[in-house]
Amino acid sequence: MVFHVPVMLEKSIEMLNIKPDGIYVDATYGGGNHSAEILKKLNSKGKLIAIDQDEDAIKNANKNIDNLMLIHGNFKYLKNYLKYLKIEQVDGIFADLGLSWYHVDNSERGFSYRFDTKLDMRMNYYSDFTAEKLINEYSFEQLCYIFKYYGELPQYNKIAEAIINYRKKEPIKTTGQLSSIIVELFPKNLIYHNLSKVFQAIRIEVNHEIENLKSFLNQTIDILKPGGRLAILTYHSLEDRIVKNFMKTGKTENEIKLKIDKNVEKMIFKSITKKPITPSSSEIKKNRRCRSAKLRVVEKI
């Protein structure tokens, strides 16, 4: 089972500056590629805590590794997991925020417009909130919000209106049904680009991705040791703005840094990557899905 072709794998691990006896977190285990590279750099005293909310990822993992602790859960509970493991602070945290190939290419999960299947899009099987529920129950205002802010679609109101009008006649149950309702709203040369954004917006809302990301980031301040590094791979502008702002200010909202006096501000992180690292042209050629990736890394002061 191929979960995810790793993006900027060597650079991501290099930027973590791994100590052989350190404690590290892979907050998005996925196919385990980044975890495997971190483990290669750890000695018998080092530890890796790997988290994934998708049960399939955990089932697919190699569980016979002494210094690997696998957790089936959401990274928004990171501090609770570490407390349970009696770990106060760690030396580094990595997260790849991209949707895995497994999710995109698995027709049964409903993440892609390429398959006509049920509207699902849940990362966590145990959640009862699906894309179908969202599409059929959200108000016009709620639909406008997610398509405007999570999909960054200029025609967000027309998309919401088309959905509302159609579901008055019958429920919208499949990805194919949804695509057929809105496809005429897009220019022919941008149909697939815009459909991707529509599905992205729905997926973000179904899985509460923005709220979870903010919760996770805020916890890293206390969890990281001084000198510990935080490395995040982002793939779309909304999450990248949140990560960029957090790494710069220590806040997930647009808040200023804590003032000590008129001239001095308390800094939480120092930047390791002045500008985000992006994939090389050769990597993009091999994996077109990585072309929007950005790697940002900071070190706790």
Query: Given this model, what pLDDT does residue 54 score?
Result: 87
From residue 301, give the alpha-carbon distance in Å to each of 125, 221, 260: 39, 10, 16
- Which one of 152, 180, 206 terminates a domain? 206
Q: Is residue 37 part of a domain?
A: yes
Q: Is residue 94 part of a domain?
A: no
CA pair distance 168, 165, nearest whole angstrom: 6
Same domain (yes/no): 108, 65: no
Query: Given this model, what pLDDT does residue 253 score?
Result: 80
Same domain (yes/no): 274, 234: yes
Same domain (yes/no): 255, 199: no
Q: Are 31 and 56 in contact (CB under 8 A)?
A: no
Identify the domain containing residue 256 by its residue range: 9-87+209-300
CA pair distance 129, 148, nearest whole angstrom: 21
Q: Which residue has the tokens 């006896």?
A: 21
CB burial of 17-28 (b: ≥16 within 10 Å; e: otherwise) equals bbbeebbbbbbb
CATH of the domain at 179: 1.10.150.170
pLDDT tens for each residue of the chain, 301 residues long: 445 578 999 999 999 999 999 999 999 998 899 999 999 999 999 999 999 998 888 888 888 799 999 999 999 999 999 999 999 999 999 999 987 655 555 566 767 777 789 999 998 888 999 999 999 999 999 999 999 999 999 999 999 999 999 999 999 999 999 999 999 999 999 999 999 999 999 999 999 999 999 999 999 999 999 999 999 999 999 999 999 999 999 999 865 444 444 444 578 999 999 999 999 999 999 888 789 999 999 999 9
Q: Which amino acid is at 5?
A: V
Same domain (yes/no): 142, 155: yes
Query: Given this model, what pLDDT does residue 116 score?
Result: 85
Q: Is residue 213 part of a domain?
A: yes
Q: What is the pTM of this model?
A: 0.91
- Which one of 206, 223, 243 terminates a domain? 206
Q: Are 58 and 29 in contact (CB under 8 A)?
A: yes
Q: Which amino acid is at 31?
A: G
Q: Is residue 93 part of a domain?
A: no
Q: Is residue 283 part of a domain?
A: yes
- Which one of 186, 206, 226 terminates a domain? 206
